[in-house]
Amino acid sequence: MGQGRRMKRKQGMPEALSEEHFANLKRKAGLPVEPPVEKASLSNKKRKTAKGAAAAKKPEPAPKKSSAKKSNGKAKKLPEPEKDSEDEEMGDEFDLDQLEDDASSDEDASLGEKKKNIWSDEEKDSDDAEEDDSVFDSDDQEDGGKKGKFVFSDDEDESDAEEKLTAANIAGLSRKLDKKLAEDKAITETEMQESAMQTNIDGPKIFGDEDDEDDELADKSKSLLAPDLQLLRQRITDTIRVLDDFANLAEDGRSRAEYTAQLLKDICAYYGYSPYLAEKLFNLFTPREAFAFFEANEMPRPVVIRTNTLRTHRRDLAQALINRGVTLEPVGKWSKVGLQIFEANVPLGATPEYLAGHYIIQAAASFLPVMALSPQPNERVLDMASAPGGKTTYCSAMMNNTGIVFANDPNKERAKGLIGNVARLGVRNVIVCSYDGREFPRVMGGFDRFIRVLLDAPCSGTGVISKDPSVKTNKDEKDFISLPHMQKQLLLSAIDSVNHASETGGFLVYSTCSVTVEENESVVAYALSRRPNVKLVDAGIPFGKEGFTSYMGKKFHPSLKLTRRFYPHAHNIDGFYVAKFQKIGPTAPNAIGAAGKKNGNAAASGDEEVIDKTPITTDEDTEVEDKSTKKKSKGTGNTGTEKSDFSAFDEDEDVKYMEKAKKNAMRRRGLDPKSLKKPKSQEKK
C-alpha cells in the first residue's frame, strides 16, 4: 500500500461519527449490538484520554510556554514513544486487513466476531493495537503525547490529522514525524529563547541591520534557495510572534505597521502571492490566523464525494467502494450524504459506481449552499450559475426528482459537463439553459417565478487557492471591482426571481468560493440596501464563522452576522461564504435594476456602490461637463486631445448624443471601465 494521501499532504480529519450512530445503524440492520469487550474498552478509553488530552490542550496554547523548558530537556527522548503512539493510532482505525475481514462479514459472523458494520471495527482493532504497544509504558506515551507536541493554531490541523491517521505507511510516517519533531524542537527553542528574554526584554531581530539586507534576503528567496526559504519562514513566525505580543516584544522605535509590512513582504516571497492579494487576504485575519490561512492554502483539501440518493444509499456506496479498495469515512455529522476519501487504489472518476451515477465528486464546501437552501419536493428552483452540476444535482436529489430545477450556466462549454452529470446521476427534473444570469427574471416572463433560488456567483476564487494557485498572482484591483459588480447584478436579478408569496419558500442563497469582503459582505449589504423587501435569515449550517458586520471602517447591517464564512484553516474545507435571504415582499417595479427596465440599468446601479459617483444633474450642459470630467478621472492621459475633440464636435450630432445620454442617465452614472468605453467610442465616431 502506498503512502496515504492524507498522510502525505497533511490533511486534517473530519469529525468522526459517534459510535452510537453505528449502534443505531446496526440495530436498524437487525444486527446484535454488543457492548465492547472489557479489554477493548479499556484500550479505547486510553486512546480517548490521549485524544482528550490533545483536544484539551488545543484551545489554550498558553500553557505550552511554561512546559517548554521541561519538554526541551526531554525532546531527544521523544521520537520513540511518539512514533509508536502513532502506530497505534494507525492500527487502530483503518487496518486494511480488518476492512477485508469486515467486508466478508459472513465469515466474521460465523467465527463469532461481533461486527458487521465496517466502520465500527474499532473494538477489535484496538485489541490488536493493545498488543502492539504493550511494550511501552502508557505513561510514557501520554508524556510524549502531551509534551512532545506543541500546538499552535497554525499546525493544529496537522497534528490533529496525525493523531487520527488512518492510512499506513509507517516509514513515511516516521520520516514525517521526525521532521515534525525537529520543527517542534525548533519552535521549542525559540520559545525557550523567548522565555529567557523575559528578563532581558529584547524582541527577536526581525529587521536586519540595514534594510538592504532584507531586500537581499527577499531576492534570494525568490531564487528559491532552500536555506533562505527556511530563514524566511523563521522570520515570518518571529514577526507573527512579535505582532501577537507587540507591547513586550517589539523593537524600540519600530511601529506595528513596519512589522506588518515586513510580514506581508515575506509572505509574498514565501508563498508567491501578489502583494495586492496578500494584503487583501491578510487584512481579513489576525496575523497568526492569516499565517494559518496561507499555510492551509498550500495543502490540498480532502477529496469528498456526495452520494446520489436518487440511486443508492451512503452505506451501500461506502461498502461498494471499500470493496474496491477505497478508504473512506463519512465527511462529518453535518452531512448525511458526504464521504471523505482518504485513499483510493482505483480512479474515483471511473469506477462502475461512478459511471452508474451513484456518486459525484464534489467539494465539501459546495454542499453548504444547497443545505442552506434546503429545497423541498415539488418546488421550483433556479440555480443561476450551475456548472458543473454538483449543487444542481444535490438540489434535485433533495427534491427527490420532483418539482423543477432550472440549471442555468452562461458558459455553454461548461454546461456540457453539467448536462453530463445531470444525465449520469439520473436526474429528471432539470431544465438546463444557458443565459446570462442577469437576464433571469425576464427569461421567465417577469418577477417572482421561483420558490427558491441558488446563486453560487462567479468569484475570484480566493477560497480555493489550494485548488487553483494561479489565483495568487492573476487577480488584481480590477477583478475586485468588476467581479463584485457582476455579483451585485446577479444577486439583484436573483432576488427578483424569487416568489415571496410561496408558502414554503421565498428563499435565496448567495454563495461564493471567495473569502474577500468585497465579494461577500459588501455584495450582500448592497442587495439589502437596494431591495428592502429581503432580509437575511439563518443559513442553518451548524458550523462556520459569522460574517463581518464591520470591516476596515465599513459598517454593515448587523443581520450580516447570520451569514456564514468558512475557511480552509479552520474547517478544512474550501474558503466559502454563504448567505441566505428570505424575500418578504414584491420588488417595487421602479427599483434599481428591476427586470422591467433594460439590463443596462442594472449595470449602472451596480457601479454606484463600488466607486464614488459624481453627481449628475439633469441639465444638459452640465452633463457634458460631467462626462469630460469623468474621462479625466479615469486617467486616459490625453485630456488635451479630448478637449479638442469636444470643440470639433458637430453641434447636431452632439445634441443627438446628449439626447441619448439623457435617456440613459442611469447607465452613464457608472464608472466601470467597461461601461465607460461605450460612450467614449460613440463620441469618437
Query: Residue positions in the annotated binding site for S-adenosyl-L-methionine?
Result: 385-391, 409, 436, 456
The answer to whether 106 contacts other proteins (rule: CB under 8 A) is no
The answer to whether 432 contacts other proteins (rule: CB under 8 A) is yes
d(CA 425, CA 306): 11
d(CA 334, CA 317): 18
Nearer to other proteins, 135 or 350 (CB): 350
Of the listed 268, 395, 459, 513, which one is catalytic? 513
The answer to whether 445 contacts other proteins (rule: CB under 8 A) is yes
Q: Is 268 a catalytic residue?
A: no
d(CA 184, CA 82): 13
| End-to-end Cα, the chain, rounded Å | 70
Nearer to other proteins, 449 or 583 (CB): 449
Binding mask 364-383 for other proteins (x = CB under 8 A): ----------------x---
Query: By C-alpha distance, which of 450, 462, 305, 309 is closest to 384?
Result: 450
Give yes or no for a contact between 481 and 611, defined as CB atoms under 8 angstroms apart: yes
Instruction: Identify the residue whose cell numbers are 440555480.
Output: 383
d(CA 643, CA 645): 5
Q: Which of 296, 415, 498, 537 binds other proteins (CB under 8 A)?
A: 415
Give yes or no for a contact between 83 and 174, defined as CB atoms under 8 angstroms apart: yes
Long-range contacts of the stretch 659-665 (C-beta < 8 A, 24+): 661/623, 661/627, 662/618, 662/620, 662/623, 664/600, 665/616, 665/618
Number of chain positions touching other proteins (CB under 8 A):
32
The answer to whether 573 contacts other proteins (rule: CB under 8 A) is no
Read off φ and ψ for residue 192, nearest 5 degrees: -60, -50
The answer to whether 596 contacts other proteins (rule: CB under 8 A) is no
Q: What angle do CA 79, 84, 90 make, to 5 degrees?
A: 130
The answer to whether 430 contacts other proteins (rule: CB under 8 A) is yes
Give yes or no for a contact between 500 and 583, defined as CB atoms under 8 angstroms apart: yes
Min dist CB 402 to other proteins, Å, is 9
Residues 6+ apart with CB under 8 A from 247: none
Please choose, out of 11-19, 27-35, 410-418, 507-515, the segment that lies near other proteins by the rule CB under 8 A: 410-418
d(CA 613, CA 624): 15
Secondary structure letter of residue 558 according to DSSP: G
Query: By C-alpha distance, which of 113, 14, 10, 92 is closest to 48?
Result: 92
Please choose, out of 19-27, 183-191, 437-445, 552-560, the segment that lies near other proteins by the rule CB under 8 A: 437-445
Min dist CB 115 to other proteins, Å, is 22
Give yes or no for a contact between 359 and 325, defined as CB atoms under 8 angstroms apart: no
Min dist CB 21 to other proteins, Å, is 25
Residue 83: count other Cβ atoms within 10 Å of its Cβ.
17
Min dist CB 409 to other proteins, Å, is 9
The answer to whether 592 contacts other proteins (rule: CB under 8 A) is no
Min dist CB 589 to other proteins, Å, is 20
Please choose, out of 351-359, 390-398, 520-528, 555-563, the segment that lies near other proteins by the rule CB under 8 A: 351-359
The answer to whether 420 contacts other proteins (rule: CB under 8 A) is yes
The answer to whether 433 contacts other proteins (rule: CB under 8 A) is yes
Min dist CB 426 to other proteins, Å, is 5
Q: Which of 39, 48, 58, 412 binds other proteins (CB under 8 A)?
A: 412
Query: By C-alpha distance, which of 53, 61, 50, 51 is closest to 15?
Result: 51
Min dist CB 118 to other proteins, Å, is 17
Nearer to other proteins, 161 or 432 (CB): 432
Q: Which of 72, 434, 582, 664 binds other proteins (CB under 8 A)?
A: 434
Q: Which of 136, 435, 543, 649 binds other proteins (CB under 8 A)?
A: 435
The answer to whether 444 contacts other proteins (rule: CB under 8 A) is yes
The answer to whether 350 contacts other proteins (rule: CB under 8 A) is yes
The answer to whether 413 contacts other proteins (rule: CB under 8 A) is yes
The answer to whether 395 contacts other proteins (rule: CB under 8 A) is no
Q: What kind and span of H or E run contains 303?
A: strand 303-307
Q: Which of 47, 301, 306, 358 binds other proteins (CB under 8 A)?
A: 358
Please choose, out of 152-160, 224-232, 407-415, 521-529, the segment that lies near other proteins by the rule CB under 8 A: 407-415
The binding site comprises 385-391, 409, 436, 456
Q: What kind and span of H or E run contains 229?
A: helix 226-244
Min dist CB 420 to other proteins, Å, is 5
The answer to whether 344 contacts other proteins (rule: CB under 8 A) is no
Min dist CB 102 to other proteins, Å, is 18
DSSP labels for 238-285? Answer: HHHHHHHTHHHHSPTT--HHHHHHHHHHHHHHHH---HHHHHHHHTTS
The answer to whether 387 contacts other proteins (rule: CB under 8 A) is no
Q: Which of 23, 96, 109, 356 binds other proteins (CB under 8 A)?
A: 356
**Grid coordinates standing for 31?**
444486527
Q: Which of 426, 469, 596, 600 binds other proteins (CB under 8 A)?
A: 426
Min dist CB 407 to other proteins, Å, is 9
Please choose, out of 135-143, 333-341, 366-374, 413-421, the segment that lies near other proteins by the rule CB under 8 A: 413-421
Instruction: Identify the residue whose cell numbers are 418577477.
Output: 447
d(CA 34, CA 22): 12
Query: By C-alpha distance, which of 365, 358, 354, 372 is closest to 332?
Result: 365
The answer to whether 423 contacts other proteins (rule: CB under 8 A) is yes
The answer to whether 675 contacts other proteins (rule: CB under 8 A) is no
d(CA 267, CA 273): 7
Task: Fill in the amino acid letter for 537.
Answer: V
d(CA 572, CA 11): 8
Q: Which of 63, 208, 272, 352 binds other proteins (CB under 8 A)?
A: 352
Nearer to other proteins, 239 or 421 (CB): 421
Residues 6+ apart with CB under 8 A from 266: 218, 232, 235, 236, 239
Residues lying near other proteins in the complex (CB under 8 A) are found at 349-350, 352-353, 355-358, 380, 404, 412-413, 415-417, 419-420, 422-424, 426, 428-435, 443-445
The catalytic residues are: 513
